[in-house]
Structure 1
């Protein structure tokens, strides 16, 4: 049953996406029904690997591109047109909610998100958490989602937000970091200030996700870029509860939720549990390229669908090497209740777009081969 919180015109409500391969795969953990075709999309599929993306963004900054509804929609649609992927991922950045809430942040070319200041003291955090993400501030996002959903038809859109730990880590460090020493130090040395910060980040991320779902996204992904830097104990104490808090903002909407992080093999069950604790029914765990999918499925108890985990480095390998790898990923993903083929991280910017298109065709053809062998008609 579709919750009344979703508009009758929502793609999950009016039938456009409810039976799509992506949504069926994401819901397979509760329905027990895998789609005949393994759906495939790529993290960072809309981006620098596409010449049309570079042309569209010429002279426009990254954050401005995210906040111009017509441009954000066009960029989101580009890889669907070119590659024939089974889902669009909303073109955004994890720091967009910060910008919309009035935080001074920019994306420096070749560096990444850079804050106007680092937030490391109780006073810093107390001033920061006064900022709110209003409906008016979210208007460019909801407009862009609406434009995109109208153009996608039966292809689902995935809403996207950075997880609270990752947002908080950027705020504490002030810029990208390899080891997040300052964030981890704050988490342990001043847990009260850390909790205040990460709870605020959770509500920011959750509000951002909810706006996208209400505007038409058929699934949501919470991306914890830096969770892999945490020990299991630190994740439990300083991150898991905040991810749960963020996802309570969409739990009543009954959309499937994918939770993904990098370097998180030791955290996979805890990441699953963080989503379950929010009351989300259809839970999916993204797996990076470091962990074979069948091993990840075993770690997760064989109960939830998985997403992943083609190694992005192999997109530059000879086709026979990449093909064998993709087939192996699909074979290993076959032991999960459901599988969404994807990369184990984002598309490298120097990737040949033709290779991505060929991977999509391969994933679909392998699905057709499997269905034909079992006598199932592929729809």
Structure 2
């Protein structure tokens, strides 16, 4: 069976639907919880795989990506899984070299320097260039055997643009931010090219079996409200509308979509939430849950937002913080998570305490 032909009835029935029920605003017996980067370096079994395989080899080998995705699901009482991959597979598919260097992180050795470099980028056939992600999703969905839903994801255009210009992660994003003022039209051209690939990529993931999608705007903290509206929200909205339109045209079931604008101001979060392009808005650890709920209203599901560093406290304090977080957000339209990805040396016992605390309310 080709992955593009797969529909929900081709997979085992879902046993735990808390995550999807919360996304739709339905009643749940317990608040669902999952953790960004939940299949990461804090797991000894992942470290073992990394000792024998480079990072992108794991992403590009469906059996390894599946095995890695399932690691936290086997170990913890989580309510959703997220496919093991990376946001930088899109720049790779567009023709840029991306390396994962030990102790450094992702590096793009030949970044875009000025607008003429945009022409170096190709418009990939995602069904070919990123087929390994689709195959990993299909294999993982089948191997999960209905235990929990499977989330697919992508980086948002602005975040990916930042990597493509900076050549990797950067504490100031100065080169990318300068483009917004120096080359506004060329910036929109680049963001549109990235958006076109993202749309095809997310549709591919749903067709392969993803039951929800998350769009990571990991560089949202570098945009004020005006820049967010112009260079982030505009493309967030377009991605959602075009993905849903393509799925509808092909008579494929819709899936809930999550927008995670890390570091965005509360005004920007409110703009995104009240547009209702996304069923779920992810919040980072700096956002106050009570204010967020008051600002976005009762008909959007919120996700987040414990400080990942809180997992270095005592197990008792972690459980208490998790319970307090749930009580502030409320059990209706809420999915528990961290305020960003779990850190590499987080104790296993702390993760267990966090999940216990969430599920105890």
Output the TM-score relative to the length of structure 2. Answer: 0.91
Q: Give how far 1:362 is off.
A: 2.8
For the 8 Å contact 1:259–1:275, the answer to whether it is kept is: no
Distance 1:275 1:172 in 2: 31
For the 8 Å contact 2:12–2:145, the answer to whether it is kept is: no
Q: Does 1:80 align with 2:73?
A: yes
Q: Give how far 1:251 is off.
A: 1.6
Match of 2:336 among 313, 318, 341: 341
> How many residues align structurally?
350
Match of 1:39 among 14, 29, 32: 32
Deviations 1:16-73 (A, max 9, x none): 3497000000111xxxx22121111100110101001111222311112111111011
Report the more deviating stretch, 157-166 or 207-216. Answer: 207-216
Q: Give how far 1:86 is off.
A: 0.6
Q: Give how far 1:6 is off.
A: 8.6
Distance 1:178 1:355 in 2: 28
Match of 1:24 among 18, 21, 25: 21
Q: Counterpart in 2 of 1:242?
A: 235
Distance 1:263 1:77 in 2: 29
Describe the shift of the 1:52–1:18 C-alpha distance in structure 2 as closer, same or farther (beyond 3 A): closer
What RMSD in Å do the two structures reach over aligned CA positions?
2.1
Distance 2:115 2:302 in 1: 39
Distance 2:193 2:273 in 1: 22
Deviations 1:347-366 (A, max 9, x none): 11111112212322332232
Q: Counterpart in 2 of 1:144?
A: 136
Match of 2:351 among 347, 356, 360: 356
Describe the shift of the 1:275–1:17 C-alpha distance in structure 2 as closer, same or farther (beyond 3 A): farther
Report the more deviating stretch, 85-94 or 117-126. Answer: 117-126
Describe the shift of the 1:333–1:139 C-alpha distance in structure 2 as closer, same or farther (beyond 3 A): same
Match of 1:110 among 100, 103, 127: 103
Distance 2:275 2:51 in 1: 40
Q: Counterpart in 2 of 1:264?
A: 264
Q: Counterpart in 1 of 2:250?
A: none
Distance 1:109 1:271 in 2: 36
Deviations 1:293-324 (A, max 9, x none): 12111121232010011121111101222122
The DSSP-based 3-state class of the residue aligned with 2:51 is coil
Distance 2:106 2:274 in 1: 29
For the 8 Å contact 2:88–2:98, the answer to whether it is kept is: yes
The DSSP-based 3-state class of the residue aligned with 1:75 is helix
Instruction: Spell out the pairing of 1:209-248 with structure 2 (5 A cutoff).
Output: 209-248=202-241
Structure 2: gaps of 5 or more residues: 248-253
Match of 2:291 among 291, 295, 317: 295
Distance 2:306 2:223 in 1: 24
Structure 1: gaps of 5 or more residues: 367-379
